[in-house]
Structure 1
Amino acid sequence: MIPTLQDMAWHRAAGQLIERLDKPDFWRALTRLVSEYVAVDSWAVLLFSDSRPLAFAESPYEGDGPDPFIHDYLQGLYLLDPFYIANREDPATGLFRLADVAPERFKQTEYYQLYFTHFVEEDEVHFNVQLDEVRTLCLSLGSRQRFSPEQVSLLEMIRPWVAGLMRQRMFFEGTRAESAPRPAARWQDNLEEAMERLGTPLTARELDVIRLILSGCSNKEVAGKLAISAETVKVHRRHIYAKLNIKSPQELFSLFLKAHAEA
C-alpha cells in the first residue's frame, strides 16, 4: 500500500513532535498539529486525580492577566465538569465526547450557561491517558461548533499517536506532577470541605445531591447514581434548600462559588 501525501505529512509532523517532547512549547505544537486536521478553538492540558486538577498548559488568553475560567475551574468548578466527574467515576484511556459524558440537564446548569458557553463555547472532546490508578492526563479540545461524526472519527484515528505522545511528555512534567496536592479520601470530599465553611450542617448524602444537581443531573439520574428513589431525591432537595435558605438552583450555584472562593 502506497502512503498518501497526507499520511506522509502526518508521520513527518509526528516525528518532529517527538523531537520536541522536552520543549516548553510541546503542548502548543501538539494541539497545532491536531487542529490542522480538526478545527480547534480552545484547548487545555489537565492532570485529573482525586484532588484539585493541575493545569499544565492552555490556549493563550486574549484578555489581561490569567485566564479567569482556568482559575475558577481549578478553584472548584472542576467538581461540576462532566469530563472530570466521568473520569473519577470510571477512569479510562480513550477519546471522550461531551455528548457521551454530560448529564441530561447539563445545558440548563449555571456552570454551562455562565462558564462553558463563554470559554469552551459549543462542544468539547477529551483525549484521556490513564497513568495509574489515580491520575489521568487529559487534553481538552473545545470548538465553537459541534464536532461532526467525521471529525470525531478522525480524532479517534490519530488517538494512538496523540496518547503515546502525551504519555511520553509526562517524563518532562515530573516536577509539577509530583507537586500535586495529596489526594483526599474521596474526590467528593473536596466539596464537603468547601461547603463546611458556610457554617450550615449538611449530610454527606445532601452534599452528593448538591453536586449532582449542580452538574446537571435530573432527579432520575441522581436517584440512579445514589441508588435511591426519585422521591427521596426530591425530599433531599427540599431539605437542602431549607437549610441553606434558598429557593433555586441559581442560588445554590452562587453558594457553591462562595464556598470555594472562601476555601
Structure 2
Amino acid sequence: MNKPEIEGISRIISGLDNPEFGPAVDTFLRTVAPFDMTCVFVFHPLSPPLLMYDGYSSSVSRNALSSYLKGGYLLDPFYVACTTEIPDGLRRVSEIAPDEFFSSDFAASDQVHPCISDESGTLIEEIGYIVTLADGWRATYSLMRNRTAERFSEREFEALSDLAPLVGTLVRRHADLTSIIPAPTRVGEIDSVLEKAFADVLTPAQFRVVNLILRGHSNQSVAEELHITEGTAKLHRHNAYQRLGITSQSDLFRMFIDFLEKN
C-alpha cells in the first residue's frame, strides 16, 4: 500500500463518526476510478429510507430528492436489491434492474430520481456497494457517472469490487458510531406508498402487475415474476389502465408522481 492510500484510509478512519466520512471515502475510491456523484441510502422493508451521505452535486434538485424519499425509492433497483436476498458486494444497476428499467420513466425522471435532476442530465451508469447492517437494514453506497462520461470499464469495476469488504466494514462502523439506524422498536410497518396510490382502485392482481410495471418490468417479465402467462399479464395491465383512466406506462408514472407531490 502506497503513502497516498495510507493517508486516504487514515482520513476515512478519522471521519467515521462525523460528516467527513463520505467525502473521505469518495476521495479514496477516486484513486481507483473516477465518478461524478455519490450517495449512501439505508433501506429497510418496513421503513422509509435514510440518507446517510449526500454526495450529490449542488445542482441536484432538492424536490427530486424529497419525492424519492417520499416513495420514489420503491422503484429503485437498489432498494429492491436491499430488501431481497441479493448478496452484499458491488453491483451494476444493469445487473439487478428489471428488463425494461432503462426505458422506464423512473430511470429518466428529473422529478423523482435525484441524480437525473443534475444539470449534466441523465446518468450513463450507476454502480453501488450493497452492505448489510443491523436489524434488517441494508445500505447502498452508489457511485454515479453522468452522460458526459463513459461506463465503468470491467477493469475499473473489478478494482472497485475488490474493495467491497473494506467499504462494507467502514459503512457498518460509521452507521454504528453515528446511530443513524433507529432502534428496532422504532421501525414501524408502513403502508406502501404504491398501495395508497393505486390499491383502492385496482384488484389485488391488477395492483401486483402495476407495481412491477412501474419498476420497469415488461409483460414477459411480469408474467415470470408472478408465475402467470404473458397473456394474463397483458389482460391485467389493460384492465388496470382502464380502471385508472390512462392509456400508457407514462400516464401511470405521472399519476404516481402527482400522488407523491400531493402527499
Q: TM (normalized to structure 2)? A: 0.86
Mark the CA change 1:110 to 1:184 in structure 2 (over 3 Å): closer, same or farther: same
Aligned-partner Cα distance in 2 for 1:75–1:179: 21
Mark the CA change 1:253 to 1:179 in structure 2 (over 3 Å): closer, same or farther: farther
The equivalent of 2:156 in structure 1 is 151
The equivalent of 1:178 in structure 2 is 182
Residue 62 of structure 2 corresponds to residue 57 of structure 1: no
Q: Percent identity?
A: 27
Equivalent position amino acid for 2:159 in 1:
L
Aligned-partner Cα distance in 1 for 2:188–2:225: 22
Aligned-partner Cα distance in 2 for 1:55–1:165: 16
Q: Gaps spanning 5+ residues in structure 1: where?
A: none
Mark the CA change 1:132 to 1:228 in structure 2 (over 3 Å): closer, same or farther: farther
Is the partner of 1:201 in helix, strand or coil?
A: coil
Q: TM (normalized to structure 1)? A: 0.86
The equivalent of 2:125 in structure 1 is 123
CA RMSD of aligned residues (A): 2.3
Q: Which sits farther off after the overlay, 237-246 or 11-20? A: 11-20
User: Could you tell me how far 1:224 is from its partner in structure 2?
Assistant: 1.0
Aligned match for 1:89, one of 84, 88, 91 = 84
User: Could you tell me how far 1:74 is from its partner in structure 2?
Assistant: 0.8
Whether the 8 Å contact between 1:44 and 1:141 is mirrored in structure 2 is yes
User: Could you tell me how far 1:16 is from its partner in structure 2?
Assistant: 3.0
Is the partner of 2:11 in helix, strand or coil?
A: helix
Within 5 Å, give how 1:178-197 maps onto structure 2. 178=182, 182-184=187-189, 189-195=192-198
* Structure having the larger proportion of residues in helix: 1
Aligned-partner Cα distance in 2 for 1:178–1:89: 20
Whether the 8 Å contact between 1:106 and 1:112 is mirrored in structure 2 is yes
* Number of aligned residue pairs: 251
Aligned-partner Cα distance in 2 for 1:262–1:195: 14
Once the two structures are superposed, what CA deviation does each residue of 1:160-203 show, in whole Å capped at 9, x if it has no partner? 111111111012231x4217973437x8x33102335xxx5212
Q: Gaps spanning 5+ residues in structure 2: where?
A: none
Whether the 8 Å contact between 1:91 and 1:136 is mirrored in structure 2 is no
Is the partner of 2:17 in helix, strand or coil?
A: coil
Mark the CA change 1:205 to 1:182 in structure 2 (over 3 Å): closer, same or farther: farther
Equivalent position amino acid for 2:260 in 1:
H
Once the two structures are superposed, what CA deviation does each residue of 1:86-127 show, in whole Å capped at 9, x if it has no partner? 222325321111110121111211111223544461101111
The equivalent of 1:220 in structure 2 is 220
Aligned-partner Cα distance in 1 for 2:188–2:238: 32
Aligned-partner Cα distance in 2 for 1:26–1:219: 43
The equivalent of 1:138 in structure 2 is 140
Is the partner of 1:178 in helix, strand or coil?
A: coil
